[in-house]
Structure 1
Amino acid sequence: MIYPIVVYGDPVLKKEAQDIEEGSIDVKKLAEDMFETMASASGIGLAAPQIGMSIRMFVVDGSPLDDEEGEEDMSDFRKVFINPEILWEDGEEWVFTEGCLSIPGIREDVSRPERLRINYLDENFKEHEEEFDGMKARIIQHEYDHIEGVLFTDYLTPFKKRILKGKLANITKGKCDADYKIKLPKKK
């Protein structure tokens, strides 16, 4: 099932998500739906809040990046992260232009540490503790931010936020170009 993507302005995107109790939901089916939703929107990561669910789960698939010359091997980077916890981040901060399915049409430079260690459960509720670096770490950091209620625009300078204010307001109203189904914030 393909879910609509919740866009900027919806409170679920700014809320810290809740842990998932084993057996409380069908995480395998949800993961399958999230991968399908992400692929249909040409994404490389998708967090549950982006489909309106305030739970600590995200999926990543870096394989679309594998075609890019000089990039790290992303062909095997397809994972489900449930109740993740970043244990540490370190290394040089590096800047990369990020985008987000919940903020269509806006891409901005974001600085993040190059490495991390994360503890998480997979779709079988098997525990893992792994280290990632480079683009894999960045994708995880971006999606992890979603379950913490943080968007990449939160890292921008006040000046940059002022410049984008009108575009962000338009996204909230549905005045944006997205070639996938979106869900607008409920009007107050």
Structure 2
Amino acid sequence: MEREILLLGNPQLYEISEDVKKEELEDLRPVFEDMFDCIKGIRRDYGFGRAIAAPQIGIKKRLICILTDKPYVIINPTLEFIGDEMMELMDDCMSFPKLLVRVHRYRHCILRYTDENWEKQEMRMDDDMSELIQHEYDHLDGILATMRAIDNKSFVMKKYANPSLSK
């Protein structure tokens, strides 16, 4: 089910999420599917979207779903940054789909998490995937890309990626 995504300014987006407990896993499985449906809906409506964090749909749990080469369910993630190399980019977000924010992110990181089978996983993430997981991880701590803006001129409004969608 495609749930409503909370928009910039909603106070729930600024709250810190709680760890998922193993006994909650089965009850959360429908939420995983809802999150993947939200990614597909944003892609349909705005032409972007690879991942979503549970707080964006009002679920205060440390849970991220990524839909790239395959679907990933990321539970209770931790990040370790590799080196000091940073990159500057224009970040977008499902919670403010027509706004881009210029931010700095680490170029490389290691993601450690529990998957949907409650098995420990570890992945090295570089460049765009490193940026993506940092963005989603921030949501778990109540941090939005707007709060990481490089300066007060780092905001750009965008049009729909697909001109046939703009009205």
Please state whether the residue corresponding to 2:56 is helix, strand or coil. Answer: helix
- 2:6 paired residue number: 6
In 1, the alpha carbon distance for the partners of 2:134 and 2:116 equals: 19
Structure number with higher strand proportion: 2
- 1:17 paired residue number: 17
Aligned alpha-carbon RMSD (Å): 2.0
* Structure 1 residue 160: Cα displacement: 3.0
After TM superposition, list the pairs within 5 Å mapping 1:2-151 onto structure 2.
Answer: 2-25=2-25, 26-42=27-43, 43-62=49-68, 75-76=69-70, 78-151=71-144
Please state whether the residue corresponding to 1:37 is helix, strand or coil. Answer: helix
**Does the 8 A contact of 1:81 with 1:120 survive in 2?**
yes
In 2, the alpha carbon distance for the partners of 1:158 and 1:109 equals: 8
Using structure 1 for the length normalisation, give the TM-score.
0.74
In 1, the alpha carbon distance for the partners of 2:79 and 2:59 equals: 21
* Structure 1 residue 143: Cα displacement: 0.4
Please state whether the residue corresponding to 1:99 is helix, strand or coil. Answer: strand
* Structure 1 residue 9: Cα displacement: 1.2
In 2, the alpha carbon distance for the partners of 1:89 and 1:149 equals: 23
Q: Percent identity?
A: 30
Counterpart amino acid of 2:5? I
Q: How many residues align?
A: 152
Using structure 2 for the length normalisation, give the TM-score.
0.82
**After the TM superposition, which parts of structure 1 deviate over 6 Å for at least 4 consecutive aligned residues?**
none
From 145, 148, 151, the equivalent of 1:152 is 145
In 1, the alpha carbon distance for the partners of 2:151 and 2:88 equals: 18
Question: What runs of 5+ residues in structure 2 fail to find an aligned partner?
Answer: 44-48, 161-167
**Does the 8 A contact of 1:50 with 1:102 survive in 2?**
yes
Question: What runs of 5+ residues in structure 1 fail to find an aligned partner?
Answer: 63-74, 168-176, 178-188
Please state whether the residue corresponding to 1:24 is helix, strand or coil. Answer: helix
